[in-house]
Structure 1
Amino acid sequence: MKLNKPTIGIPAEIRTFNGTLRNNVNEGEVKAILRHGGLPLLIPTRNPDVVTEYLPLVDGLLLPGGTDVAPRFYGEEPIPQNGDIDPLLDESEIRLIKEFIHAQKPIFALCRGMQILNVAMGGNLYQDIESQIATPVFQHSQKNNISETAHYVDIESESKLASIVNTDKLLVNSHHHQAIKQVADELHVTAKSGDGIIEAVENSDGSIMGVQWHPELMFEGDVVEDKLFEEFLGRVKSIG
């Protein structure tokens, strides 16, 4: 049965609440999808062989933030600064990403989501930017409330991202210690922070976009961040 509204798949993290394991998605992502006329659909990630069965049910894929990406998925061993990982989540999301790309369905990736997107498409990551980058970097894991802004990003003027936010400099929040190192061949860097960290990517036709920050925590009070979700849902609706 075809639904009247576009469905947006969100891969779920496993979290423990009162001693019980639960499939978890972020409320901000759910609210942003609903605001712009979509229906969020949680995708369980404990069985990578099952996740691709959701493909016919889902029109677009939202890749959320979360744990570190296991470095084995980009051919490295973990360094001491590498944080919590969830290899089943990584494998499930990598399979989803590849299937969505093959099916030419839109993808919007946030923070860790942009990192796993890059890995799935053949790129790699800094496991820890403060210890692996020689030059000083900004505070990318901000101490103030994550719904508030932390630093600026410089946006490529000819990018799809620039056309959405209508500026070449944007103040964003920041909550990460990993980042894209080598960008995948089919992705283009569309924003960087002043210290050189990659802050946004997209593919050649703009059907795949990723940002390193968390617009889902800012969109209700920030018109520009809200436009990112509006455009994503518009992309999904246009091919529905």
Structure 2
Amino acid sequence: MSKPIIGITSGFVKLTNFSEGDYAHKDYITSLTMAGAVPLILPIAPGSCTERYAELCDGFLLSGGCDVNPQFFNEDPTPGCGVFDTERDQAELQLVHESLKRGKPLFGICRGLQVINVALGGTLIQDIDSQLDHPIQHEQKVPRREGSHRVRLEKSTRLYQVLGEQETIIVNSLHHQSIDKIGAGLKVAAFSSDGIIEAIDMTEKGLMGVQWHPESMTAGGSDAMLGLFKHFVAACIEMKQANSGV
């Protein structure tokens, strides 16, 4: 069986008036390659392109990036809400639904976790520092490959099993938004000490999401975080074999 092709959603960056385009952090590519997959960066393209992406890829990694437009969870932007990209939101929300319909595994990271939650009817805290009474630091000041705060894993979840049945782990943290109301069918898999939801899963659909950045911890040498990518890639291989009748 050939290596699975994993589509990585991208953001949009403009470096100069002569240099702009789609972007995904190199650590996503490094981690998926280390886990035995073929990574493929997907340009932002809603509509029929999303359906073709769902046909071509064996699974999808929803990457980090800008805020989610609050219109997609029926709210107006609060003062603490940052820049959002409505076109990217539309494309990724469509991709979530298309993937679930086709049974393609999904791995949401940071913003990707939030997009999955919104796609399934959930809502977001638009700015943790201004909406939470006693938040911990969720936008760390140390390098992104280093962990900065603890999360507590729920024992009845797949994430707990994949991460070696540890009750707490140290993760990195680069976000100011998070899940508020949980989306339909999702299970909370981890919390931070201030009550922020740090991970979700939906076992029967091959879906998981984390609020931290395991790709950078993997690139920094974390075997535990590499295990998340290996688990995701294994799910993509299993689904690929099932679909091909192997």
With the shorter chain as reference, the TM-score category is over 0.9
Runs of 5+ in structure 1 lacking a partner? none
Counterpart-to-counterpart distance in 1, 2:118 and 2:99: 15
Counterpart-to-counterpart distance in 2, 1:190 and 1:206: 15
- The residue type paired with residue 176 of structure 2 is H
Deviation at 1:80, TM superposition (A): 1.2
Which residue number in structure 2 is paired with residue 64 of structure 1?
63
Query: How many residues in Structure 1 have an aligned counterpart in Structure 2?
Result: 237
- The residue type paired with residue 18 of structure 1 is T
Which residue number in structure 2 is paired with residue 91 of structure 1?
90
Counterpart-to-counterpart distance in 2, 1:155 and 1:123: 21
Query: Structure 2 vs 1, CA of residues 164 and 206 (structure 1 numbering), >3 Å: closer, same or farther?
Result: farther
Tell me if structure 1 keeps the 8 A contact 2:35–2:226: no
Are residue 184 (structure 1) and residue 183 (structure 2) matched? yes
Which residue number in structure 2 is paired with residue 24 of structure 1?
23
Tell me if structure 2 keeps the 8 A contact 1:48–1:88: no
- Quick one: which of 147, 150, 155 aligns to 2:148? 150
Moved more, 18-27 or 224-233: 18-27
Structural RMSD (CA):
1.3
Deviation at 1:18, TM superposition (A): 3.5
Tell me if structure 1 keeps the 8 A contact 2:103–2:205: no
Counterpart-to-counterpart distance in 2, 1:204 and 1:31: 25
Tell me if structure 1 keeps the 8 A contact 2:12–2:22: yes
Runs of 5+ in structure 2 lacking a partner? 241-246
Deviation at 1:48, TM superposition (A): 3.9
Deviation at 1:146, TM superposition (A): 1.5
Counterpart-to-counterpart distance in 1, 2:23 and 2:143: 21
Deviation per CA, 1:68-90: give whole Å up to 9, x if none: 00000100000111111000000
- The residue type paired with residue 168 of structure 1 is E
Moved more, 198-207 or 68-77: 198-207
TM-score (norm 2): 0.93
Q: 5 Å matches for 1:213-232?
A: 213-220=212-219, 221-232=221-232
Q: Using the aligned pairs only, state the percent identity.
A: 37
Tell me if structure 1 keeps the 8 A contact 2:35–2:233: yes
